[in-house]
Amino acid sequence: MANLGDAAKAHGLGAYQNDVSQALQTMEIAEGRSGTFDVFGGMRGAIANTELGVPAGAPTENGCAAPHVAGYGLWHGWLVWHAVKLDGGPIATAGSSIVKKEGSMLVLYTPAAAMVHHLCAADVKHHAATHASVQHASVQVTKAPAARLIRVADTGGDGAVSYTMAQATAGKTVYSTHCASCHGANLQGVAAPAIAGKEFLTTAHTNGYSVSILNTIVTQNMPFNDPGSLKPGEYADVMAYLLASNCFPAGKTAFPTNPGSHFGTVKLSIPAHPAGTPDKNGVCPVK
């Protein structure tokens, strides 16, 4: 409104056009778009991706789980999905990121769904680890090891992880086909979070992610529209591509398709000595 007021008082055409343009841009950002849940989502994004879009009295479920009945899936205020019955009536799919038929229902997943499912998987790991610690607390108290930067030079019993550059190159192709539509060709996120570079590794370090946790998220929750649909070798290649893109050096041992119980326990963090030349986002290109 301030810009419109300035425009009404403007004495020149240039100043008038500039003030009106600023006013229109401000209104457009405030209105936003339903296809994004970040700051540019505005009011439309909030209605499409949060509990603000749930009608009063409508049935709701845990958004981390698949829908059981028609209704809305919520998680910490985020709207994850809207399940509707296939009864022949019109179904509004505008603003949905993914639409899937599940039994007698059509499930409309919001643009925020991929981000929420990513956090759900991490939450499950966190609670499982906490529960295990509580169970053993009465038996013995073990000092937790300090977080370390991930090592990828071998696959020894200390939980370090290796991959080959040939795997990373193959994984780039798999990623482009099955992952880039949500996570972006540059791995910085589109409808889903960034999965490489400074932003991702800072979040991973803060949340205590290990390679094992990342592998679980990738193999059990991705691709988002068809979880678990890739072959074990394809998942291993994608993991190798992610490690390479996050500037961790390749080794001589391939990333495993069937990780053991001691696999990948070293925590993810920004490498002290990155392999390759990171771009401005901290991502190392894979050829």
Short-list 67, 104, 124, 117, CA closest to 227: 117
Confidence of residue 138 (pLDDT cuts 50, 70, 90): very low
Sign of CA dihedral 79, 81, 83, 89: positive
The reported pLDDT for the residue numbered 155 is: 43
Say how far apart CA 282 and CA 79 lie, in whole Å: 31
Q: Which secondary structure element, helix H or strand E, spans residue 44, and what is its range?
A: helix 42-49
As a residue count, the chain comes to: 287
At residue 238, the 3 state secondary structure works out as helix
C-beta separation of 196 from 238 below 8 A: no
- Residue 23, pLDDT above cutoff 90: no
> What pTM did the predictor assign?
0.52
List, for residues 70-126, the tens digit of each pLDDT value. Answer: 999 998 888 999 999 987 677 777 678 788 888 888 999 988 888 787 777 665 554
**Residue scoring higher pLDDT (244 or 45):** 244
The reported pLDDT for the residue numbered 6 is: 66
Domains along the chain? 49-113 (no CATH), 145-287 (1.10.760.10)
The reported pLDDT for the residue numbered 134 is: 44
List, for residues 209-248, the tens digit of each pLDDT value. Answer: 888 888 888 888 788 778 889 999 999 999 999 999 999 9
Say how far apart CA 100 and CA 108 lie, in whole Å: 7
Say how far apart CA 26 and CA 211 lie, in whole Å: 42
Q: State residue 39 phi and psi, 5-degree precision.
A: -60, -25
- Residue 27, pLDDT above cutoff 50: yes
At residue 188, the 3 state secondary structure works out as coil
10 Å CB burial of residue 104 (0-12, 13-18, 19+) is exposed
- Greatest pairwise CA separation for the chain in angstroms: 80
List, for residues 47-61, the tens digit of each pLDDT value. Answer: 888 998 899 999 999
The reported pLDDT for the residue numbered 129 is: 52
One-letter amino acid identity for 112? A
